[in-house]
Homo-oligomer: A and B are copies of this chain.
Amino acid sequence: MGPAPRILELFYDVLSPYSWLGFEVTRGSRAGSGLQGQCTVRHRLPGSRNSWRCPRVLCRYQHLWNIKLQLQPALISGIMKDSGNQPPAMVPRKGQYMFKEIPLLKQFFQVPINIPKNFFGESVKKGSVNAMRFLTAVSMEQPEMLEKVSRELWMRVWSRDEDITESQNILAAAEKAGMSTAQAQHFLEKIPTEPVKNKLRETTEAACKYGAFGLPTTVAHVDGKTYMLFGSDRMELLAYLLGEKWMGPVPPTLNARL
């Protein structure tokens, strides 16, 4: 028996594109499930001759490192408010940079991310509170479904530019993730309940207590110490902290422990 796995907490919101990148790198999807099901087309970077196909088996670091990943659905608007931070697009050049960089990150991370047409004007204003409460309800009763439902919500807002605020759209994502209509309806009814609202508030506050000012926020518990890392660009530093090997955002599947 090897040493006990280190606990990693990944705080995320499906409204945050960088949360998706961090989620896929740490969590990834197993053979025969999840992302590759939705992503069989060849992608092409504008102006580039090269295209790529989402790998059939994404075996990312949850299978490669000695970690136990805890997905923590949180509310990005709550974290921004509590920390006094503002979305990057409040500085116009940061917003422009983000929109130029995401197509590169799409290729680099092999995540089928596309920029919504009016993200800051529409998606951010509509928010993600119902979607994140839905995920919170799932995490409380059926945590094994949390990964897939989260991914399907990202696929809606950050890949196909579809709504995630209306009940029927949250339902559609849950069903696409493999839930029955009855199950999905059950979780939808939990959205306005106090236990779910409180749990999402508590998770968001927990992120803030760790010092979060945005998402994704990763909290690593290593040798009795706690390290908080911000952003999808800190995964290599995370590997260093864990004493694990970093092989880029799409590690070779040959080395997987599967």
| Chain A residues with a Cβ under 8 A of chain B | 47, 83-85, 91-94, 96-97, 100-101, 104-105, 107-108, 211-213, 225, 227-231, 233-234, 236-237, 240-241, 246, 248
Contacts and interface: CB of A to CB of B under 8 A. Distances in A.
A185 B85 CA distance: 45
Nearest to A240: B108
A90 to B, nearest CB: 9
Given A211-B96, A234-B233, A236-B248, A227 B104 contact: yes
A91 B83 contact: yes
Nearest to A83: B93
Contacts of A105: 237
Contacts of A246: 248
29 contacts: A47-B225, A83-B91, A83-B92, A83-B93, A83-B94, A84-B91, A84-B92, A84-B93, A85-B91, A85-B94, A91-B213, A93-B211, A93-B212, A93-B213, A94-B213, A96-B211, A97-B211, A97-B213, A97-B230, A101-B229, A101-B237, A104-B237, A105-B237, A108-B237, A231-B233, A233-B233, A233-B234, A236-B248, A246-B248
